[in-house]
Amino acid sequence: MRWLHKLFIQCQMLIHRGRAGRQLQDELQFHLEQQIAENEAAGMGTEEARRAALRSFGNPTTLRDQTRDTWSWQGLELFLVDVRFGIRALVRTPGFSALAILVMGLGIGANVALFTVVHSVLLKPLPFKDQGRLVRLYEANSKGAFQDNVLAGGTFASWQAQAQSFEGIAVNKGIEYNLSGSAGQLPELAHAQQASWNLFPLLGVDAALGRVFLPSDDRRDANPTVILNWGLWKRRYGGDPAIIGKTILLDARPFTVIGVLPAWFNYPDPKVQLWTPIYHERSPEVMSMHTAHNLDAVARLRPGVTIDQATAELNTIQRQIRRQFPDGPVHDAANIRPILDAEVFRLKTGLYAMFAATGCLLLIACLNIANLLVARAATRRKETAVRTALGGSRARLIRGQVIESLVLCVAGGVIGLAFAETALRWLVHMRQDIPRADSIHIDGPVVLFTMGVMLVCGLIAGLIPALSSNDKHILRTLHESSRSYTSAQGGLRLRRVLLGLQVGLTVVLLTASGLLLKTYNRLRSADIGCATHDVLTMEINLPKGSYKTPEQIVTFYEQLVDRVRQLPGATAVAVATVLPGEGHQRDDVFTIREHPALPKGQVHDASTYFADPGYFNAMQIPLLQGRLFQADERLDHSNEVIVNQDFVRQFLKSENPLGKHIKVDVEVPGADAGLEIVGVVADTLEDASGAPNPAIYYPFYSGTQRSATLVIRTTQAPSAMALPAQQAIAGIDPGLAVANVLTMDQILGQSTIGASFDATLLLAFAVISLLLAAVGLFGVLSYIVAQRTAEIGIRIALGAQRTQVMRLMLRDGLQPALSGLLLGLIASAGVAQLIQSMLYGTSALDPAVYILVSATLLVTAVLACALPAWRASRLDPMTALRLE
């Protein structure tokens, strides 16, 4: 308790230091008055009494200071004095201070921004009850090929029935509904999720309004129900609580609204607008198949069960399922990831690499500041020596310097925080593919981090120069008049080492950004095998309610293609389900009728797309063999397929592919008997960074697909076609919503945005650090030249050639740059191995990158050194010597 009381008193003293000072004055004055009064009472005259009292009182100022010394805040007061002193010293050199603060601001700002992203995206727990036990479940291949496969409905049912490791397993699946307009509202395509009823209780989420699903809602024969997300409810229904119990139309079918989710709920992503029960929406057949993989699974581990134990259990169950179904795409193992990890593991390497890069940048900034401070310390050697001689303790001197650099770093940190705020807003805007981007904010931990960074930077930048200036040679410093060309060698050596380190770090940054840039270029220039310029695409999703039969679907799309084709500027129009560069969407297993049965447990698998007759022409995918689909191959007369070159390479080798039949379990009529291969087209890439894979094109006019992408190749700017095309769609069905109106370039841009972003950002960091290194080199060499003016003067006077002087100076300046370069190249080779997974088509030791980096650095170094070296060679020996 006593320490508490003491602390209280001390805090009071801290707050009321000013008042306490006045009170002390008053107290001492009172004492003096008392003494005078006593002296007077003893019979002295007024003046004599006063003088006697003062005499016995001693020096009032000393007394006051001695008393103040007992207050515990003396240290703080000294600190404040040092801070004031430091600020004064910085204000005296406004150019230096502004530059230093700006450099620190950039460094700290970049770090704070990246830390905020790493903290909010990778580290901050999801807002669910006891989220440590929440995991995502995947089907996997025991040989390690596919680790993160979505679940099949049958697998989900088996796991749910048999697995003991979990309190519960729930599934959800993303889908789009056509949310029909009512009372003049526009129809819209709503991102939605179908979920098993137990998903919300499993996550520990309750409805903000109404209720969540019950088991009785999640059945095929239940009344259709829907839960709205907060955003949709506010936006489209005006936040009216009376929505509960009302009916809304999804794909032209009535659904009763039973609940509204809380505003903070944005799982699995913030785009989701509404939820429907999955067993009501999907047929019991699909939900019991082990081959149709389309469900995301979430589970809650029982307390005390580890992920390894649960994985082992699921593996056993899944092996059994595989034994039951040796044919078809049924996996034989399982994989479990913590829920947060599942969301972000793809981003981890990139973000941590960026964070490391900002760390390097900050370190470079610190070294630069340290370097500048060493130079200042050197110019202030006399002042330091005088202060030491007058009794200033070494600790106090060091503290002064550290405080000076702390002041710089704190100012830089404040600017950095503002800079980070701007950078984050830009980043969230640029990278909408980052999961949990909505949770990126500067919050308490970030501010703490900023303060920590400021402190560490201040200490690093302040201690290096402070410790380097030792006071062992005060006398010599004081003796030295101006013959200073032999002095300060220690400081100079230190500056060279700092500079070497700085150059080394810069080289690492340059190399890493060079490798990533090359990767990005490779991705950009990767030929995905189809037309990419002047192609506009838009997604259409026909509602189930009003397009019930294949005839209706085919009629709509035929009409649409026909109308759009007549628009001025459209050269080719087509529809297909998946476009190149849109990633992997669907694959089917199949057998080839003409081949002997495969050994048990083996299957053929290929990506599958639906395309109309005009697709290959519109996308300029060349036909290599056979023919394309024909206009009359529709509905029941559509049992032909086209395959790609890779398909032939993998499954038919040297056989003639034409006339072979593919037996596959798909909605196309006649598929179980076998679909005839009528043509072979060139390969396209699903992913710019991937290799081609075998693919089958089914005829789109079989009429089984309600959703498709309309493709328009144009002669004019593709975006100019968007409005006329949408009007054409509205002309056929005014209630139809169109989504994702994008050019082909944009689709490809989206798939490379991560690479481009990482490369650009890293390059920016590298350029900044290159600039800093150049400034450092320039500063050091200018300093050397200034220090050696007299020596150079003598050399020239004795007959040294200008070029010799210049060479001498250049060598002096380039030496740290060269050793830094060597150091940096070695470190780069190591670092490049770490970012190997981010590289595509680029070796971690790509010679071109390393050579270019070395050349860039050398040129920069020579440029930075050239001016001071040239100035040295121009020195007039007489002036130089007279300076002495």
Partner 1 sequence: MGKPSDLLQGTLDLLILKTLSIEGRHGWAIAKRIQQISGEVLQVQQGSLYPALHRLEQQGWIKAKWAESETGRQAKFYSLTAAGRRQLDSETTQWARLSDAINLVVQES
Q: In angstroms, give the least distance from the CB of 78 to partner 1.
A: 18
Q: How many whole angstroms separate alpha carbon 832 and alpha carbon 824? A: 12
Is 55 or 143 the residue whose CB approaches partner 1 more closely?
55
Q: In angstroms, give the least distance from the CB of 55 to partner 1.
A: 12
As given in the structure block, the two tokens for residue 515 are: 């490798």
Is 49 or 295 the residue whose CB approaches partner 1 more closely?
49
Compute the Cα dihedral for 418, 104, 778, 480 and give only its sign.
positive
Q: In angstroms, give the least distance from the CB of 75 to partner 1.
A: 14
Is 9 or 851 the residue whose CB approaches partner 1 more closely?
9
What is the number of H-type helices and E-type strands within the chain? 28, 22
Is 56 or 142 the residue whose CB approaches partner 1 more closely?
56
Say which residues have a Cβ less than 8 Å from residue 391's Cβ, sequence separation at least 6. none
Our measurement of the distance from residue 805's CA atom to the centroid of its chain's CA atoms, rounded to an integer in Å, reads: 50
Q: In angstroms, give the least distance from the CB of 412 to partner 1.
A: 37
In the chain, % helix, strand, coil (3-state, to 5) comes to 55, 15, 30
**Residue 45 burial class via C-beta count within 10 angstroms: exposed 0-12, middle 13-18, buried 19 and up:** exposed
Q: In angstroms, give the least distance from the CB of 46 to partner 1.
A: 16
Q: How many whole angstroms separate alpha carbon 507 and alpha carbon 824? A: 5
Is 24 or 99 the residue whose CB approaches partner 1 more closely?
24
Is 57 or 485 the residue whose CB approaches partner 1 more closely?
57
Q: In angstroms, give the least distance from the CB of 76 to partner 1.
A: 14
Whether omega for the bond prior to residue 125 falls within 30 degrees of 0, making it cis, is no
The Cα diameter of the chain in Å comes to 137
Are the beta carbons of 301 and 137 closer than 8 angstroms?
no
As given in the structure block, the two tokens for residue 330 are: 């049924």
Is 24 or 497 the residue whose CB approaches partner 1 more closely?
24
Q: In angstroms, give the least distance from the CB of 15 to partner 1.
A: 15
Is 13 or 415 the residue whose CB approaches partner 1 more closely?
13
Q: Would you tell me how many other CB atoms lie within 10 Å of the CB of residue 508?
A: 26
CA 196 vs CA 127, 298, 299, 356: distances in Å: 20, 10, 12, 41
Our measurement of the distance from residue 510's CA atom to the centroid of its chain's CA atoms, rounded to an integer in Å, reads: 19
Compute the Cα dihedral for 785, 786, 788, 792 and give only its sign.
positive
Single-letter code of the amino acid located at 277: P
Is 56 or 836 the residue whose CB approaches partner 1 more closely?
56
DSSP 3-state of 183: coil
Q: In angstroms, give the least distance from the CB of 45 to partner 1.
A: 20
Is 53 or 374 the residue whose CB approaches partner 1 more closely?
53
Q: In angstroms, give the least distance from the CB of 12 to partner 1.
A: 10
Is 34 or 837 the residue whose CB approaches partner 1 more closely?
34
Q: How many whole angstroms separate alpha carbon 513 and alpha carbon 355? A: 13
Q: How many whole angstroms separate alpha carbon 513 and alpha carbon 351? A: 14
CA 305 vs CA 82, 161, 167, 301, 309: distances in Å: 57, 18, 10, 6, 6
As given in the structure block, the two tokens for residue 7 are: 């602390």
Alpha-carbon radius of gyration of the chain: 38
Helices (H), 649-739: 722-732
Is 6 or 807 the residue whose CB approaches partner 1 more closely?
6
Q: In angstroms, give the least distance from the CB of 9 to partner 1.
A: 6
CA 330 vs CA 171, 601, 672, 771: distances in Å: 18, 9, 19, 56
Q: In angstroms, give the least distance from the CB of 391 to partner 1.
A: 22
Is 14 or 123 the residue whose CB approaches partner 1 more closely?
14
CA 347 vs CA 96, 352, 511: distances in Å: 39, 9, 21
Is 5 or 143 the residue whose CB approaches partner 1 more closely?
5
Is 9 or 475 the residue whose CB approaches partner 1 more closely?
9
Compute the Cα dihedral for 836, 842, 847, 853 and give only its sign.
negative
Is 75 or 245 the residue whose CB approaches partner 1 more closely?
75
Q: Which of 860, 702, 678, 879 is nearest to 793 (CA)?
A: 879
Could you list the residues that contact partner 1 (CB under 8 A)?
Answer: 2, 5-6, 9-10, 13, 23-24, 26-28, 30-31, 33-35, 37, 56-58, 62-63, 66-67, 69-72
Say which residues have a Cβ less than 8 Å from residue 380's Cβ, sequence separation at least 6. none
Q: How many whole angstroms separate alpha carbon 413 and alpha carbon 392? A: 30
Is 32 or 829 the residue whose CB approaches partner 1 more closely?
32
Is 62 or 803 the residue whose CB approaches partner 1 more closely?
62
Looking at the chain, how many residues does it have? Answer: 884
As given in the structure block, the two tokens for residue 180 are: 């029909």
Q: In angstroms, give the least distance from the CB of 399 to partner 1.
A: 24
**Residue 506 burial class via C-beta count within 10 angstroms: exposed 0-12, middle 13-18, buried 19 and up:** buried
Contacts 24+ apart (CB under 8 A), 12-15: 13/71, 13/72, 13/73, 14/73, 14/76
Q: In angstroms, give the least distance from the CB of 81 to partner 1.
A: 21
Strands (E), 421-569: 535-541
Q: In angstroms, give the least distance from the CB of 50 to partner 1.
A: 15
Say which residues have a Cβ less than 8 Å from residue 481's Cβ, sequence separation at least 6. none
Q: In angstroms, give the least distance from the CB of 33 to partner 1.
A: 7
Q: In angstroms, give the least distance from the CB of 82 to partner 1.
A: 23
